[in-house]
Chain A
Amino acid sequence: MELILAAAIGVLAASGVYLILRPRTFQVIIGLSLISYAVNLFILAMGRLRMDAAPILDGANANPADYVDPVPQALVLTAIVIGFAMTALFLVVLLAARGLTGNDHVDGKLD
């Protein structure tokens, strides 16, 4: 299980990095999203993996040992929201750049 997740993170990160090194703005934005998946999974992994141990307590008397570490999840939630915001922003800037420079090259130069 750990192996799979690690591989998954690796693949996502790799394809993301490859994309952000491309010259087209659209490629860059896709790459950023992929990387953000990778990072989110990475953070989650930092809490070690547990199955069927969702941090949702049943009643007052709960034994912490039965639940997965909630901290990374909280971090990931924040990260997701911010990531969403940033992606949207980047998208719009990208559109504006495309509008003003007339093409979608990251440096705004003509092909």
Chain B
Amino acid sequence: MAALNHIAILPILVPMAAVIANLLLGNLRPPSRVRLNLAFSVVLALVSILLLVALAQSDGHLAAVYPLGNWPVPFGIVLVADRLAAVMVLVTSILSLAALVYASARWHSRGTNFFPLFHALTMGLNGAFLTGDLFNLFVFFELLLAASYGLTLHGGGRNQVKAALHYIAINLVASFLFLIGVALIYATTGTLNMADIARAVPLIAPDDRGLFDAGAAVLGVAFLIKAGSWPLHFWLPRTYSSAAPPVAALFAVMTKVGFYAILRLWTLVFANSSGPELAFGQNVLLVLGLATISFGSIGALSSKALDRLASYLILVSAGTLLLAVGYNAPGVTSGALYYVVVATLAAGALFLLKDVIDQILPAEAQVLAVSLEIYGDEEEAADDVDEVSRTVPGAATLVSWCFAIAALIMAGLPPLSGFVSKFAMISAALGAGPTAATWWFIAALIVSGFLVLVAMVRNGINIFWTSLPDSDTPLVRTAELAPIVVLLALCVALALAAGPAMAFFTETAAFIHSPQGYVDVVLPREATP
């Protein structure tokens, strides 16, 4: 247990050490610097795996609780690594490793201080997932935001700066909302520890309850901004698509942080405090989720460039997750967790893929393809074309396969993991007894899947069939192709091992949906009256 506890903080400390190392060893030659950073990322990934394994093996609904400074809970800050947190941390670490490998090929040299910022972002993400303290959550949010600002601007041209301006402005407002929310919650509950808040909510004086709800609502808005919910997400596609590909890949996790925070607090604090605000909030989440998902999928339909498409896909997944949270049923949640992992990895891969494709294809070819599609090509009659297909260069074939896999996952088509997750969610929703919400839920998932399919097919055809240059084998670095392949391979593996994976997620969801268990783990007995 003690060992486990110390593992719990490492996902935060390792990246921090990486930041420090980068700062102190400023005059390191590029190759060795790259190696250093890769080493740190690898270690981080290992640590995360260790954490998850340790949690999975320790039986039942156990979460590692780590009191910082050894102060008694709830007074000091505490890290709580339950399975949910551990999974998110693992996803973050893997994705960051992949992105870092990718970046180490070219991108890191596009601007100053890439590596420290990158590790800082990882640190912020992991911290946000692990912490069990509301204000500490704020701090880590700020950390990951600050890092993300820096990375958005990385190698900044005009677009980056313009996008970043909006991004920063909106998120600064969001931070203020966050503070106000936290302040109100503290004012009414007198504590900052999440578990302790969950304990204190029933004890709030009836008069103060309104204040508490207001604070929670404001906090919720702050989270929704992070989660990329409609109509608070307009900054997102622009920011993501203008950020450097490896950065964008890691950003794929960032919206999930919002989702995580909502899920955690929602299930922990509100789900058990039954009242009007429960149903209300639930409906709000459902509606927002629907709006987001439709906006995202239609946006995907409208987007011609792959990076934009990917950004909208991020929105689609965000909407799906909001729906799942709003549905507030363990079965659906477990499906959603599976979905988070898959969607995040696939989206990250897609962002990287986009960059590779840009290397293979001249941009004007893609533009031509698009116009060709819109206006048709009269000059090309069917007969005068030889009925001999082309041999596709090897690298391009691999890339196209990656694209196909990513497309299948994103559209949730069988037989890949995207399909499994949707199947899990829908069947759980049906199993929970169909209500009006169920039909909306199913319709949203299916229709969005269809639209995404159409969008992906269009782009795929335009990229690989219309404008693939003949015969010349384009140069693609292995260091850039490998991470993509690995990420997608993971998704496929998840589909094959769907059985055990779903079992794991089911337990996780069960734990999330029984807040008392969480509270008991975090708070020592005497603290809970």
Contacts and interface: CB of A to CB of B under 8 A. Distances in A.
* A adjacent to B, CB under 8 Å: yes
Interface of A: 20, 25, 28, 32, 35-36, 39, 42-43, 46-47, 71-72, 75, 78-79, 82, 85-86, 89-90, 93-94, 96-97, 100-101, 106-108
A43 B186 CA distance: 9
A66 to B, nearest CB: 18
A100 B180 contact: no
Interface of B is mostly: helix
B164 A93 contact: yes
A82 B142 contact: yes
Contacts of B158: 100-101, 108
Q: Closest 3 CB pairs between A and B?
A: A46-B187, A43-B183, A46-B183
A15 to B, nearest CB: 14
Contact of A36 (B157, B165, B176, B184): B176
Given A39-B176, A71-B192, A93 B183 contact: no
B123 to A, nearest CB: 15
Interface of B: 135, 139, 142, 146, 149, 153, 156-158, 161-162, 164-166, 168-169, 172-173, 175-176, 179-180, 182-184, 186-187, 192
Contact of A42 (B153, B156, B172, B180): B180
Given A43-B179, A82-B142, A100-B158, A90 B169 contact: yes
B165 A97 contact: yes
Contacts of B182: 75
A37 B139 CA distance: 18
A101 B169 contact: no
B180 A108 contact: no
Contacts of B186: 46, 71-72, 75
Nearest to B184: A46
A10 to B, nearest CB: 13
Interface of A is mostly: helix
Contacts of B192: 71
Given A46-B184, A72-B186, A96-B156, A39 B179 contact: yes
Most B C-beta atoms less than 10 A away, residue of A93, A94, A97, A101? A93
A49 to B, nearest CB: 12
Contact of B153 (A32, A93, A94): A93
Contacts of A35: 173, 176
B216 to A, nearest CB: 15
B172 to A, nearest CB: 6
A72 to B, nearest CB: 7
Contacts of A108: 158, 162, 165
Given A86-B146, A96-B156, A20 B183 contact: no
Contact of A106 (B146, B161, B165, B183): B165
A78 B169 CA distance: 20
Contacts of A71: 186, 192
26 contacts: A20-B169, A20-B173, A28-B169, A35-B173, A35-B176, A43-B179, A46-B183, A46-B186, A47-B187, A71-B186, A75-B135, A75-B186, A78-B139, A85-B146, A86-B172, A86-B175, A89-B149, A93-B149, A93-B153, A93-B164, A93-B168, A97-B161, A100-B157, A101-B162, A106-B166, A108-B158
